[in-house]
Amino acid sequence: MSNLSREVIEQLAEHLENAELNAQDVTKITDDYPDMDFEDAYDIQWEIRRRKEARGHKIIGMKMGLTSWAKMAQMGVEQPCYGFLADYFSYADGSAIDTRHLIHPKVEAEFAYVTHRELKGPGVQVADVYAATDFVMPAVEVIDSRYRDFKFDLKSVVADNSSSSRYVSGGRCLPVDAMDYRTAGVVMEKNGEIVEMSAGAAVLGNPAESVAMLANMLGERGESIPAGTFIMTGGVTAAVAVEAGDSICVHYHDMGSLTLRFV
């Protein structure tokens, strides 16, 4: 089912993408379109993706969001969502992120999975994810909701590409069976002080569950996770607000650390 016309979907995609590109916040779109449903919301996200590809950007990965209780509680939303990652979102470990292009960035510590085999839902389970995973690596996401004061509902955030903005990945990559990622600890420091800590199990009991859920959600639209996809599985702690001058360092058990600073 979907309630919005194609014309409105395209208008809202342009509106939200402009908010991203101009770093200008907007009110949440369900205020003006209360009838919008989840199919409409994902249609808007896929239209933003199409717009970027039409301008020559490459889609280089996917992300899951709101997969931990810490994140769901922080945002007042009780279901995971997905988004896409465009080429210009990606930064190298140690990079400086320019806050002038962002509205109100927050950082999240995540585990990323890279696949070597297609995963197509429905019915994808953790075992399928293990069989399809090439390696697991640390990633730190910078989210930047286009909605005023980061206030949204699930449909609005889905339409806004699940707040995707920037990320760094790196550290030590490990085979999927090298460790039990559920008990892999993560410690986040902001300006040298510990601000959050958690472990992989915070994400749906096992970050691989998040990859399975992504495959199953994409399956509902007839889409899949192609072989060779980089997938961020969602923040293991609440997101931490940052501004120009801040530096972030995230330490991962046995997988090294990632740093980024904001200028």
Binding positions for ligand OOG, rule: CB under 6 A? 63, 65-67, 71, 75, 108, 141, 143, 145, 157, 162-163, 234-235
CB nearer ligand OOG, residue 163 or residue 169:
163
CB nearer ligand OOG, residue 76 or residue 123:
76
Query: Is residue 87 within 8 Å of 57, Cβ to Cβ?
Result: yes
Half-sphere exposure of 25 (CA within 13 A, CB side): 16
Question: If binding is defined by CB under 5 A, does position 235 make contact with Mg ion?
Answer: yes
Shortest reach from residue 260's CB to Mg ion, in Å: 14
Question: If binding is defined by CB under 5 A, does position 108 make contact with Mg ion?
Answer: yes
44 binds, among Mg ion, ligand OOG, none (CB under 5 to 8 A by kind): none
Question: If binding is defined by CB under 5 A, does position 207 make contact with Mg ion?
Answer: no
Residues 123-142 that bind Mg ion (CB under 5 A): 141
19 to 58: interface string for Mg ion, x by CB under 5 A: ----------------------------------------
| Tokens at 191, concatenated | 């300006």
Query: Is residue 256 within 8 Å of 181, Cβ to Cβ?
Result: no
71 binds, among ligand OOG, Mg ion, none (CB under 5 to 8 A by kind): ligand OOG
Shortest reach from residue 143's CB to ligand OOG, in Å: 5
CB nearer ligand OOG, residue 115 or residue 162:
162
CB nearer ligand OOG, residue 20 or residue 108:
108
Question: If binding is defined by CB under 5 A, does position 170 make contact with Mg ion?
Answer: no
Query: Is residue 156 within 8 Å of 243, Cβ to Cβ?
Result: no
Query: E strands of 144-246, at which residues?
Result: 166-169, 185-190, 193-199, 230-232, 240-241
CB nearer Mg ion, residue 171 or residue 235:
235
75 binds, among Mg ion, ligand OOG, none (CB under 5 to 8 A by kind): ligand OOG
Dihedral angle computed from the Cα positions of residues 234, 235, 236 and 238, in that order, rounded to the nearest 10 degrees? -140
On the question of a cis peptide bond just before residue 122, with omega within 30 degrees of 0, the verdict is yes
CB nearer ligand OOG, residue 105 or residue 170:
105
- Checking phi first, is residue 22 left (phi over 0); if not, alpha (psi -120 to 50) or beta? alpha
DSSP-assigned letter for residue 171? S
Query: E strands of the chain, at which residues?
Result: 59-65, 81-86, 90-92, 96-97, 106-115, 133-143, 166-169, 185-190, 193-199, 230-232, 240-241, 247-252, 256-262
Shortest reach from residue 240's CB to ligand OOG, in Å: 12
List residues binding Mg ion (CB under 5 A).
65, 108, 141, 235
